[in-house]
Structure formats: C-alpha cells, structure tokens
Amino acid sequence: MINTLRIFDELKETMEAKAAQKIAEIIGMLYEDLQNTVTKKEFNELKDIVGELAEAQKRTEQRVNELAEAQKRTEQRVNELAEAQKRTEEELRKLVQDHRETRRQLGGLAMVVGYTLENEAYKALPRLLKEDYNISVKDKLRRQYVKDNQGKYIEVNIVGKASKSGKEIVIVGEGKSQLSKNDIDRFRNKKLNRLEGVFKEMFPLLVTHMTTNPDVEEYAKKKGITLYYSYDF
C-alpha cells in the first residue's frame, strides 16, 4: 500500500500545503485504481484458466466414461467368448465321443465282415486248394488260438491240417474285406513269423473281397502268399 502521508510531507517542502495534499490524494487514487486494475486482470485471467481447467476436466470425465463403457463392452465380449469357448469345447468333447463310438462300431462291423468272409472261406477253400494246388484239407478249417514260437497264444483266423503230395502241411490264413500291402506285411510279421518253427511247413493264404491297389495281388505272390477273392467261392 502506498504511503500518501509521506508523499504529502515531501511535496509540502517545495509547494503549498493544499497543493501538496491534493497531489498526494491524486497519487493515492491512481495507485488504488492501478491496484484494482491489476487485480481484475489477474482475476479474469484466473477465471479463464479455471474455465479451461473445467472444460479439460469435463472432457477427461467424458473420456473416462467412454473408457469405462469400452471396458464394460470388452468384459462383456470376453464373457461371451468364454461362453462360446465353453460351448465349443463341449461340442468338441461330444464329437470326440461320437468319433470313438463310430470307430468302435466300424471296428465291430469290420470284424463281422471279416468273420463272415472267413466263415465262407472255411467252406470254399478245401475245394479251391484241391483244384488249384492239389492240397487235401484233412480237418475242418477254423479259427483258433495257437501258441507262437515264444509260447504266447495268438489268434489264427484260418488254420487247419492238410497234405500235399503226401507231405503234411498246415494252412494258415486270414480274411480282410479290403486287402492292402500293409495288411500283407502285418500278416507276415504278426502271424507267419511268430509261427515259424511251430509248424513244420505252412501254406499261407489270404482271402478278401477286393484290394486297395492293382499291384497288391502281385505283392502277395512275391511274399509267397496265396490270394483268393470272395467271388472265387
């Protein structure tokens, strides 16, 4: 705050007291007006700043609300995806079960078809072997378990004693509804190789409805295995 009294004392030394007082009052008024002007300017500036801050706060709150809504939508979408994933996993589990059941049924069907083919072969093979190879089947051909060269039982689908030119042999075979090269290899590895030494001489054969490739029949011949088709019966 300005000291008008001190100004008055200094002025009256060089002029009349009235004039000095008047000038001191004018200076005081000017100072007060100047003070008021600066205060209003600062206040207006402050008001503008506060207004800008309020707008910024408003925009921030709006953005926060938008983010909250987006977060809410995201969480909802995540929950929907989790439910969809749960349903997908359940459907997949059912499909796996259905697939297993289908495979089981197909396996059972293939076994039935194979057994039916072999049952027909039991009746037809004695005649065919006699006509084609002069082999006489002594006992009925049948399906039975035989001890392999390791002393373990294996199922032989077609087996029976026979003779050729006075020599004792054993018919060993099986049926496949659709014969492949892999089937021939498995027959050799899992049946013939395991029965080597058990029987003095084997006559291996396979019966089938059809082959997977034209060269399967030639492959069987190269492996020393006789092949008959169901239409030969």
Ordered by where they begin, the domains of the chain are: 114-232 (3.40.1350.10)
pLDDT tens across 31-73, in order?
A: 777 776 656 666 567 567 656 766 777 788 888 888 888 998 9
* Structure tokens given for 17: 């007291």
Radius of gyration from C-alpha coordinates of the chain? 54
The pTM score is 0.56
Q: In this predicted structure, what is the pLDDT of residue 56?
A: 76
Q: In this predicted structure, what is the pLDDT of residue 102?
A: 63
Given a contact cutoff of 8 angstroms between Cβ atoms, the answer to whether 205 and 185 are in contact is no
* Structure tokens given for 6: 């001190």
